[in-house]
Amino acid sequence: MKTDELRETYLDFFESKGCVRRPSDLLVPLNDQSVLFTPAGMNQFKEQFLGIGKTDFTRATTCQKCIRTGDIENVGVTPFHMTFFEMLGNFSFGDYFKRDAIHWAWEFVTQKLGIDGNRLTISVYEDDDEAFGIWNEEIKVPSSRIRRCDEEDNFWPAGAPTHGPNGVCGPCSEIFVQLDGGKEVEIWNLVFTQFNRVGVKQLEPLPSKNIDTGMGLERTASVLQGVDSVFGIDILKPIVDAAGQLLGKSPDEEMRRLRRISEHLRTVTFCMHENVMPSNEKQGYVVRRLLRRAVLDAYQLGTDEAILHQLVTPIVEAMKAGYPELAKTAGGVAGSIKAEEERFLNTIDRGMSLFESEAKGEEISGEAAFKLHSTYGFPIELTEELAQQRGVKLDREAYEQSVKQHALDSGSGAFTKELFNVGPIQTLKSTLPTTEFVGYDQQSGKATIK
């Protein structure tokens, strides 16, 4: 099954269960100031879960564009993590609960997608006997394939009762697919959102019991397409291959770098489409960091010209069924990527020489890391990674000290302000091209948006 078909099949299936199809929220969420980027499908529904946001529907289904900055380091390292991915979700606001959510998930995976139930394993929260019972007695998953895990793995957000953010949360149950070679991949998380965390171990029951589920589109597609990573699926492979061609490298030899480059460029393309441009703060800093990391990868593969913007065309092509609107901004996005590539390439040689000479010692000093950042445009995380690759330490504390010292020396604190202050997010949002959902084309099944 093609990825575009999977997206539609999921939304169709949950529509048949009475869920209303809603559009994805923007990557920079409209109503959630607690996160820089939308990390999951549930974020746009927090108020409904809290019982304060009223809608005229109590069941919804979405395909949400997500960005998880916490997974940057995993990209290219694990076969299944990206910074940008699509999360298929179904949601209940005080309507259906655990039993239906579990039964429907099983029906979808085994009947609609045709994945053999014997390949699936299940996790439940340690004391959730109810979920265990539904899986075991009603669905007939043998108890040997159901494991009980603690709050780190089976509460959402992870560890919510004891640490993590306040807000809506609940125990969860996850579905894993066994892969060849004994490994497994987590494809779907079913969250039984029934608490509001107001402090450590302070979980207040929500006014109603809710459901929030998130299925990874690309991971599930990789299972259906029989490929061993998300980078092999029909919508991502062409981008990785295009990166290989552009840089004259084979995806087999330079797998990690080519995966990172193509993945980061896709994330950046989606961000810039929403007008999130490289800067030194907040979302813009993430875009800068991702792009410069890709430029550095390309540089280390022997390219010192600004060429990565050429990947926008294959990215827009690969994503066009789900996101036809990308075509409208593609030219401007490619131009902005090129400008940022050039900015970094202007100083990358001198930055790398400084790094190389520092790396001869045992440690990259705070001063050097600061100079790499302020003069040569190396985000600190990038320098940290270079240091790690080289097996030398980096004095992060001394770096932070240098940042502070510089702000004091320059008197105005302008540098710190630029780096750390809250950006004009509201202004930025008001200029965003919004994606307005109009409906779905009956024949093609495609979303109509404007």
Binding window for ligand ATP (CB under 6 A); candidates: 202-210, 216-224, 335-343, 429-437: 216-224
219, 249, 264, 373: which one contacts ligand ATP (CB under 6 A)? 219
Residues that bind Mg ion (CB under 5 A): 186, 189
The helix/strand count (H/E) of the chain reads as 16, 13
189 binds ligand ATP (CB under 6 A): yes
190 binds ligand ATP (CB under 6 A): no
71 binds ligand ATP (CB under 6 A): yes
7 binds ligand ATP (CB under 6 A): no
212 binds ligand ATP (CB under 6 A): no
- Structure tokens of 32? 């959630």
DSSP for 219-254, written as a single string: HHHHHHTT-SSGGGSTTTHHHHHHHHHHHT--TTTT
For the bound state, the minimum distance from the C-beta of residue 154 to Mg ion, rounded and expressed in Å, comes to 8
341 binds ligand ATP (CB under 6 A): no
Which of residues 84 and 93 has its CB atom nearest to ligand ATP in the complex?
84
Helix axes 217-224, 3-16, angle to 10 degrees: 110
Which of residues 85 and 104 has its CB atom nearest to ligand ATP in the complex?
85
Size of the site for ligand ATP (CB under 6 A): 16
87 binds ligand ATP (CB under 6 A): yes
List the one residue out of 125, 210, 110, 109 whose CA is nearest residue 160: 125
Give the ranges where 1-88 is alpha helix by DSSP (H).
3-16, 46-50
Instruction: Count the neighbouring beta carbons within 10 Å of the beta carbon of residue 52.
Output: 9
Which of residues 188 and 355 has its CB atom nearest to ligand ATP in the complex?
188
- What is the SS3 assignment for 208? strand
151 binds ligand ATP (CB under 6 A): no
Q: In terms of C-beta density within 10 A (0-12 exposed, 13-18 middle, 19 or more buried), how is residue 185 classed?
A: buried
List the one residue out of 369, 366, 367, 375 whose CA is nearest residue 343: 375
Give 52's Cβ-side CA count (13 Å radius).
Answer: 6
82 binds ligand ATP (CB under 6 A): yes
260 binds ligand ATP (CB under 6 A): no
Residue nearest to Mg ion (CB): 189
CA angle 80, 283, 162 (to 5 degrees): 65
259 binds ligand ATP (CB under 6 A): no
68 binds ligand ATP (CB under 6 A): yes
218, 263, 297, 358: which one contacts ligand ATP (CB under 6 A)? 218
The helix, strand and coil proportions of the chain, stated in percent and rounded to the nearest 5, come to 50, 20, 30
Partner in contact with 288, chosen from ligand ATP, Mg ion, none, beta carbon below 5 to 8 Å by kind = none
171 binds ligand ATP (CB under 6 A): no
Residues 41-60 that bind ligand ATP (CB under 6 A): none
What backbone torsions phi and psi does residue 386 show, to the nearest 5 degrees?
Answer: -60, -45
Which of residues 166 and 357 has its CB atom nearest to ligand ATP in the complex?
166
For every residue of 348-384, which 3-state class applies, written as one string? HHHHHHHHHHHHCCCEECHHHHHHHHHCCCCCHHHHH
Residues in touch with ligand ATP (CB under 6 A): 68, 71, 80-82, 85, 87, 186-189, 214-216, 218-219
